[in-house]
Amino acid sequence: MEKEVISQFKEKPQTKLGKWSVGLNASFVIIIAIALVLVLVLKKLSFDDHWWDATVPIAFLIEIVAFVTGIIALRKNKERSWLVYFSIFMGIATILFALLHSLFIQD
């Protein structure tokens, strides 16, 4: 039995998993934005400090969970919100960055 599409592309997420995906993606963006402001704009911290080594894995895991919940909301619950699609796109971009980052590091 085919599930009925419960949301349209222009709407906010209607399902619980869709809302979780968007919320986790928003927290990822906020964490990275705050880190960039503290390092690049205010010059209060450095990327070489230990805080960055703790922040990146946490932010990465948050984005991976947002990606997985977005995929589940899309496939299982037929979520069609653009915010869920954006969350999935950010998850793919994060995974690709993590996989390809080591190719360009010059230590």
Q: Which of 21, 12, 24, 10 is nearest to 75 (CA)?
A: 21
Pair of tokens at residue 9: 């592309």
Reading the chain (107 residues) residue by residue, the pLDDT tens digits are 566 665 667 789 989 999 999 999 999 999 999 999 999 999 998 988 898 889 999 999 999 999 999 999 999 999 899 999 999 999 999 999 988 887 887 75
Q: What is the pLDDT of residue 47?
A: 86
